[in-house]
Structure 1
Amino acid sequence: MTPRPPQDPRLTEQRNPATAEIDQLSALEIARIINDEDQKVAPAVGGQLDALARAISMAEDTFRRGGRLFYVGAGTSGRLGVLDASEMPPTYGTDPAMIQGIIAGGYTALLNAVEGAEDSREDGAAEMDRAEIGRDDFVFGIAASGSTPYVHGALTRAKQRGAKTGFLLCTHPEEWMTAVYDVVIAALVGPEVVTGSTRMKAGTATKLVLNTITTGAMIRLGKVYGNLMVDLRATNLKLQDRSERILMETLDLERDEARALLDEAGGSVKLGMVMHWTGADRDTAAAQLARTGGRIGDVLKGEAK
């Protein structure tokens, strides 16, 4: 019997021939086949590096102009956007308003499904009005299937309000998307192990993409020196320890010296590094960093001249 062709053109809704009989497999076989499918995620994201680079540059430009990055999604896509946004303040010392996640159905939808929330373009648009989206902002929509009305409603309204717009999907984009949105990232991970379960490969691809955009932008903003997160804030014991270890390693200090420098720098690793290397007080070091857009390497180049 010849299989019928797919009834839905979206990759996220098609059946995966490799898992057609997965319900008959052992636990080990299930684990193996899921892992085999997961191997396809990173290459799919890797095929979108040019678009990812554009998104990083847009985010960097947004932040340098004092604008905000908003992730907008529903279900898994929305949850991953909120997750990525929430991790920025402790990791890079950012203002919580700088990167925000918006999920269809509101924060209730983080823990419980809010049926039908993703179906309203009007609600997505209204959220852009409530956030007072403007020309300095960057709104990045996430919809694995490419068709979520809430997300497209938000992006349409954001564009009307003058914001830059980006879109992530895990199926082939329609022509109008690349014509309308400023950047489109299509991570073609293929059909899911369980048909339509986009919390799997599509969800993994989404996390990779969002992590890359924000991490790339933070690096460009000077919040990383070498590969160290030097703009973290010592707000708990783990981060206090990491902050002290960074100063010990980069400045060849003992633990008590690193702790004292961190206190003198107001808990800022970056300021402490500049103060130590240049001999400046905290205010002068802060002014030096401001002149270089927050990039420690550029401060040191200036000192060497």
Structure 2
Amino acid sequence: MQKITEQAGPYRHLEQQSTLELLTKINREDQKVALAVEKCIPALTALVDDIVPRMQRGGRIFYSGAGTSGRLGVLDASECPPTFGVPPEWVVGLIAGGDHALRHPVESAEDAEGQGWLDLEAHNIGPDDTLIGIAASGTTPYVVGGLKACRERGILTGCVTCNPGAPVTEHADHPIVAVVGPEVVTGSTRMKSGTAQKLILNMITTTTMIRLGRVKDNRMVDMQLSNAKLVDRGTKMIVDALDIPYEEAKRRLLLKGSVRAVIEQ
């Protein structure tokens, strides 16, 4: 299989170019990402529509990846509790090599195909859960192994890759393929491929949480009030929703502990 993500970049002799030339070319390539992701919307729709009823029955979303892909999954999962006020168990990010790999490269970990399932099994993954394998190349054994094992057990699977026909797509009920083309620095999938993956994961969890009722109008009414900025944001939501003075809105927010509790009382 010829990997698009490994093809030679569109620009040569980068080391001879000015800062302005380099930044312009990187930005020019980045502009292609959103258009590539747009083409994935039908496949994303089908995936989210399968996830939502499972989560309504108590299911969870699991992300599995290695390197940049794994880090992006952990990042998206970690942002769901503060944004939507959900338990951390609702969206779980797993990275080959464990938490140490978030800050330090553990390159050989991605080659352990069997470990993908073992890490999922440690979380008691079950029939109402969903596994989304993330792999720009689409060949990562750690991810492929997890997808294979889940599919054999009737667990819903999806994948996010940037290579059509990649092995991960063969083991995913819902393959999401964002074809962003070769990278400016050949093979550096932390660039366009990583950006596409980040956009797609945001779309999956945000749309799912909206469908699950964790957003009211366009507001994060269940967000955690973990700092002064978020208390201020929540207070302004209440002012807007109830047309009451700022200080009264803040008093009610701190008393009730969430925007939803105030505006729905």
1:18-167 matches, cutoff 5 A: 18-167=10-159
Shift of residue 177, structure 1, vs aligned partner? 5.3
User: For 1:250, what is the secondary structure of its paired residue?
Assistant: helix
Task: Give a deviation string over 1:236-292, Cα, whole Å, max 9, x none.
Answer: 21211111110011111112221232244x3121121111xxxxxxxxxxxxxxxxx
Q: Which amino acid aligns with 2:246?
A: R
Residue in 2 that maps onto 1:262 = 253
Aligned with 2:220 (options 210, 229, 239): 229
CA distance in 2 between partners of 1:156 and 1:75 (Å): 20
Distance 2:165 2:257 in 1: 45
Shift of 1:62: 2.6
Deviations 1:14-44 (A, max 9, x none): 002x312222211110000101110110000
Q: State the identity %.
A: 49
Query: Based on CA coordinates, which of the two structures has the bigger radius of gyration?
Result: 1
The whole-number CA distance in structure 2 between the counterparts of 1:121 and 1:113 is: 18
Q: 1:76-134, CA deviations, whole angstroms, 9 ceiling, x for partnerless residues? A: 00000000000011111010111010000000000000131000111112112211110
Match of 1:213 among 172, 180, 204: 204
TM value normalised by structure 2: 0.96
Task: Give SS of 1:167's match.
Answer: strand
- Unpaired runs of 5+ residues, structure 1, are 1-7, 276-305
Farther off after superposition, 131-140 or 152-161: 152-161
Query: What CA deviation, in whole Å up to 9, does each residue of 1:139-186 have, x standing for no partner?
Result: 100000010000011111222333110011001124x75564210000
Equivalent pairs, count: 265
AA of the residue aligned to 2:11:
T
Cα distance in 2 between the residues matched to 1:142 and 1:179: 13
Higher mean C-alpha displacement, 217-226 vs 27-36: 217-226
Alignment of 1:175-254 (within 5 A): 178=169, 180-254=171-245
Stretch moving more, 165-174 or 153-162: 153-162
Contact 1:104-1:150 within 8 A present in 2 as well:
yes
Alignment of 1:259-298 (within 5 A): 259-264=250-255, 266-275=256-265
TM-score, scaled to structure 1? 0.83
The amino acid of 1:267's aligned partner reads G
Deviation at 1:232, TM superposition (A): 0.9
* SS of residue matched to 2:62: strand
Whole-angstrom CA distance in 1 between matches of 2:142 and 2:226: 36
1:60, CA displacement in angstroms? 1.8
State whether residues 59 and 214 of structure 1, in contact with CA within 8 Å, keep that contact through their aligned partners in structure 2.
Answer: no
**Aligned Cα RMSD in Å?**
1.4
- SS, match of residue 100 in structure 1: strand
Q: Following TM superposition, where does structure 1 have runs of at least 4 consecutive aligned residues deviating by more than 6 angstroms?
A: none
Higher relative contact order (CA 8 A, sep 6+): 2
Matched with 1:15 is 8
Gapped regions of structure 2 (runs ≥ 5): none
Structure 1 distance, partners of 2:78, 2:123, is 17
Query: Closer, same or farther in 2 for the Cα pair 1:184/1:217, shift >3 Å?
Result: same
The 3-state SS of whatever aligns with 1:19 is coil
Residue aligned with 2:133, SS: strand
Quick one: distance in 2 between partners of 1:15 and 1:178? 23
The aligned amino acid for 1:234 is: L
Offset of 1:234 from its aligned partner? 1.4
